[in-house]
Structure 1
Amino acid sequence: MSGQAFEPKNMLFRNLGATGLRVPVFSYGGWLTVGYEQKGDIVKELMQTAFDLGINMFDNAEAYASGESELQMGRVIKELGWDRSDIIVTTKVFFGTGRSERHNTRGLSRKHIIEGVNKSLERLGLDYVDIVFAHRPDVTTPIEETVRAFNYLIDQGKTFYWGTSEWSAMEIQQAIEIAKRLNLVGPAAEQPHYSMLHRERFEKEYEPLWRYENHGSTIWSPLDSGLLTGKYNDGIPEGSRYHSNLNGAMDDNVKHLTSPEGKAKVEKVKKLTAVAERLGGSMTSLALAWTLHHKGVSTCILGATKPEQLKENVKALDLYPKLTPEVLEEIEKILDNKPGLPTSFGRRGDDGTLM
């Protein structure tokens, strides 16, 4: 029996790269949230709030909370009774579930891809996911074997699309070319880190993918673990992700915050906060709206731990139209971190061949 019907509200939708899959520009992810400190009723509240705000895409991975994240999300999907065609569910395979992983219980061999996805489907309680991502590249497995394994899952109806996460542009291009040569389905999207403060790879190395392949992306950590919300402008407040530290997961971030480079970033955030407030928004809204201006961004994964944060996050849709070329130039001057020219790999010559 179907539950509440999906109402997109004022959510914006984009095609996932060159595919026909329409994804909301904001999605909700389980990394460092669902299955960790967020379990039980709060997960249902978070996912229901996202759904009510027009966010119908939910991202996960076999490794998140050692599989607990998938169990929590799967339980909520079942309890809320959403029509399966109304939601987009993604997961990732590579790391396994953290149980002394070695040999065939991790990586991108045909064996682990197929077995890993089958176990993810069991935890999610679903017959299929919409997208499966290769969570990292696997240098010990031929890319052709990986491409064939994901194509098999598509043929079996266990996923509709596949993608990569934190692969190099060259590895992605290899997978695309192998799939074309073998008449198989190639990767549709990359899941990279992208934010105002983390731009080099997305805007330089991957640029040929966005430009010549119309490749999709599902970006993660657009707020840099909260740094771009402005909450750390005056230190580390109680209740923040840096303060809770999630069993040491934020150690590097905390150390970075007190370094000269980290302090310089905080000064930039303070200046950007003034721009956001002048436009009638928050630093959070500005940071999220800014990512949507890049043509390569299909959807921006949110990692809110409270429903109120999700409501604040989607206010970026109101700020997005206010980011005129003049405002974007002002932001660029404050950031002062625009990458250089894109790498030449993947460019096409006048005859259309790769250079």
Structure 2
Amino acid sequence: MIGEWLASRGNRERVIIATKVSGHPAFPGLTADNITAGAERSLKRLRTDHLDVYYAHVDDPATPLEETVAAFDRLVQRGLVRHVALSNYTADRVQEWVDVAHDLGAAPPVSLQPHYNLLARTGFERDLRPVAERNDLGVLPYSGLASGFLTGKYRSAADAAGTARGALLGDYLTGAGFAVVRELEAVASELEAEPATVALAWLRSRPTVVAPIASVSAVDQLDALLASASLELTPAQDERLTTASDSFAAALT
């Protein structure tokens, strides 16, 4: 579908395309063959001659990192991939990848895609952000809206029961979690914005973050996401949200 859209619009050079390899049933893991085949199949489906960003979706400890890094680099050298990136890697493994790329003279990763939002901060801020800062990695956190919880659509645990994403909400459905949503709604009211817009604006303003990732289930939800690219919080508003988030984290311990 994306390939058809690109072809009909003729806008390939105005679009940044990223895709991943490692978790696809047909190409599991990060062997050299899987990395190459995954890229070539994506290029065919997308009707393009290059991928702007190619992610290692999840670590594959069973494959030597030297093999994986070299395979990504060969795609860069062939012009099929412009940039290498990592997703769902531990801080130690991110640094190891960077070091192996340096030793091999291979293309280094340029971005990192971790789980990070107002309700999921500790793992990234404590472990991954220092690695991103040290290696100049742009961070594109996924689950920016905490599986929809930060849109304010859930007012109680009962609201999530039986929904498509209910099982993903887990610890969010607590008094401390709903307190974060109430603070989001208060700030959103002050700014005449949607809670989702504010949640993503907070995330966008974090150190190393270049753009948060979020999705919609209906077209009419898209405007709130796009508005987050330009919304600026005041220092006081930022601090209120961060404090509510800190209280949520403390309640988990």
Matched, 1:79 2:8: yes
Aligned length: 250
Gaps of 5+ in 2: none
Provide the rounded CA distance (Å) in 2 between the counterparts of 1:253 and 1:80. 36
Question: How much does 1:324 deviate?
Answer: 2.4
Name 2:22's counterpart in structure 1: 94
Matched, 1:252 2:167: yes
1:173 alignment partner, SS class: helix
Question: How much does 1:271 deviate?
Answer: 2.7
- CA RMSD in angstroms comes to 2.3
Letter of the aligned partner of 2:60 in structure 1?
Answer: D
C-alpha contact (below 8 Å) 1:203/1:339 kept by paired residues: no
Question: How much does 1:204 deviate?
Answer: 1.1
C-alpha contact (below 8 Å) 2:145/2:200 kept by paired residues: yes
State the 4+ residue runs in structure 1 displaced beyond 4 angstroms: 234-237, 254-258, 337-340
Change (3 A) 1:255 1:179: closer
C-alpha contact (below 8 Å) 2:114/2:141 kept by paired residues: yes
Q: Structure 1 vs Structure 2: percent identity of aligned residues?
A: 30
Provide the rounded CA distance (Å) in 2 between the counterparts of 1:275 and 1:174. 41
Name 2:93's counterpart in structure 1: 171
C-alpha contact (below 8 Å) 1:204/1:339 kept by paired residues: no
Change (3 A) 1:263 1:125: farther
Provide the rounded CA distance (Å) in 2 between the counterparts of 1:127 and 1:157. 8
Question: How much does 1:294 deviate?
Answer: 1.1
Provide the rounded CA distance (Å) in 1 between the counterparts of 2:131 and 2:184. 29
Name 1:28's counterpart in structure 2: none
Out of 240, 248, 253, the position equivalent to 1:330 is 240
State the TM-score, normalized to the length of structure 2.
0.90
Provide the rounded CA distance (Å) in 1 between the counterparts of 2:237 and 2:224. 21
Change (3 A) 1:236 1:153: farther
State the TM-score, normalized to the length of structure 1.
0.65
Out of 115, 138, 150, the position equivalent to 2:60 is 138
Deviations 1:18-64 (A, max 9, x none): xxxxxxxxxxxxxxxxxxxxxxxxxxxxxxxxxxxxxxxxxxxxxxx
Provide the rounded CA distance (Å) in 2 between the counterparts of 1:182 and 1:252. 43
Provide the rounded CA distance (Å) in 2 between the counterparts of 1:315 and 1:243. 30
Matched, 1:315 2:244: no
Question: How much does 1:212 deviate?
Answer: 1.8
2:63 alignment partner, SS class: coil
Name 2:207's counterpart in structure 1: 295
Name 1:217's counterpart in structure 2: 139
Name 1:158's counterpart in structure 2: 80
Higher relative contact order (CA 8 A, sep 6+): 1
1:161 alignment partner, SS class: strand
Gaps of 5+ in 1: 1-71, 341-355
C-alpha contact (below 8 Å) 1:143/1:175 kept by paired residues: yes
1:291 alignment partner, SS class: helix
